[in-house]
Structure 1
């Protein structure tokens, strides 16, 4: 077991209540080894990088994932508390929610399905992928030394395919139901904070938005330009018989508002729109009631956005908090782009899609742990001296103005000592990270 710096030990020991004493020793090896390991994040790779490739009781580390009694949800609660204390001690807590496909094959993976690959597909080209679908809830927080917003995962759940649920005789839980449960779980963990949930157009559903409104969570998503919007229901006169009205007069669609000549537009400068530099856009906003037959009625504030330079097509956003202005809604919505960056980083640097577990329990635990490892590395980097946090891995052909997650991972690795014999070091030289090449 490596001797951790004092600044790291306190954070890692926060997860000790999840395990009994014997399991905790093995869990530490997995956690630190997953940080140090380059390439595939298999248990055997962790054993090699930790200098335990000759340990005859290697099966104990496998059992942490497929048999040991510990609760990943409780670990997500501990991680969220650490993230809040480090990056959002006050003010609204902005959360991002999105799903991703982990491309995996194998007959023994029961929960896999065939989905549209959002990375390889486009509007005119459809690509299918076989794998596991995950729903992840992330904290969208400003990282001071990175000078940008990072999406920090803390709670991830597996969404089995409909076919897998049918074969196992279980009720299929749709994607929006899983997202609703994750968001309401965060609400229970943070009862006294203002929560803002940002999602893509897949979460623009009346049932989901109504659940967020009743759970005191401000939801921000995209809105269809042809959505049926109405004025609020007029006051009910005394003595009126029958069911109360839920809507007033029909309002023009957002597409008609976009084409109207008398629409009042306001110019705003939004930082980081579509990952670019701050750009100037034109917006108009208003309140309405979104209604569809047989579904809940949700009051919303709609924001219509257009680009004077036609860099992107017009689009609309909605917010379930009617008191928020357009600039605040846009500043929260643009944080969502960091979610895709996190998904890319965990695949490139933390080995997501390279693990090789086959049991259902290990599959349900490993990917959420690797996603949470992104947040743990960020917390460890926050405890480094300022000089190490500002270090950049630059090249003559690749100038880098701000540190990235790869830089922070290398800094954490360099600050984590390892106890290895020279014989083990020579045997494992082929798997060393470039950060350790001296």
Structure 2
């Protein structure tokens, strides 16, 4: 069937469907269905990223493994989660987001199921560290950035916020249910539940997810023109490395990497690794501390979506600076708030920190897109690797401080100081000039150096 001519009478691309403004009041642009399926995939894969903490004690009790032995697999999982991201973005350009998302969910499901039948620690490293780490890393924030980049011209910040919030929902909002399941029925049923959720989504991804608007004969949401689907980019691994070597010669990359390293140190590195033992030092039960972390995760959803909305409207550099100032202040105040029970001040802290926790993602993705265009998803993957490195370093250093000084107070103070540094780094980023149209025009790498 031929496309209906545009009401203005202007010619349209023969393959171009209606944009959001042409679709009519009752028709939903296909891009939003793509976002919905992508969000479900991110939720399913994100669920396993915080499940490691729930598995530690049950695995210790079942197999008698030391916590350091278990930690090897958990560390491998975290490292691969970060390193996989830029290569996954390149693979999406080569094979499409639908195939990579389906393969990632299959890897998460396979790793989770194989973990239930393991008998040796090295098998845990292989199943949980390798398979689950690769699968969850491939459907992390670079996946969200790629979907937003391909399917949207308008509302990219909002979409990035929604998809990032989906990952947070999977990481924390589902955690109490999996913890309850583990406590009542054992750790294996919890892993089987995660695996089944991933396997159920694989056919849904195959049916509804599309790699590019051109595949459906549509323009991107909010786009003024039809965008042909780009040719597959061969040599995905080499391209990811090449993009790193290229962007590593530019100043904005190091500024964004530094900002995100601090982001990882002041969230995953300090809160998810040390908040529960720090609260326990003040007499708070571990279950109560975990509930506060879950509350932070719930507020993450609202904070991330709101940050995406703000990123569409305001300077992302100033947003980042503001987020880090507020986050640093909350971390500095935390030692005086910790008590034996989660009272009102601690609940308020959890709400405020949750709103700020992942709010940094949409502005960083937006800045990556402004500076690096078509390579932005891969660049953001490398920036996200810096996030994981910062988280790992803080996790180790925080433990050293506690063992040496007998208190976590210097850890919170140091994290607050790092956030102040990240705020200054955010403002030091100089944005490229706009020249009109849907995208920012780049006038060569020399304009974005230093």
What's the TM-score once normalised by structure 2's chain length?
0.28
Flag the structure with higher strand content: 1
Which protein, 1 or 2, shows the higher relative CO under an 8 Å CA cutoff with sep ≥ 6? 2
Flag the structure with higher helix content: 2
Greater CA radius of gyration, 1 or 2?
1
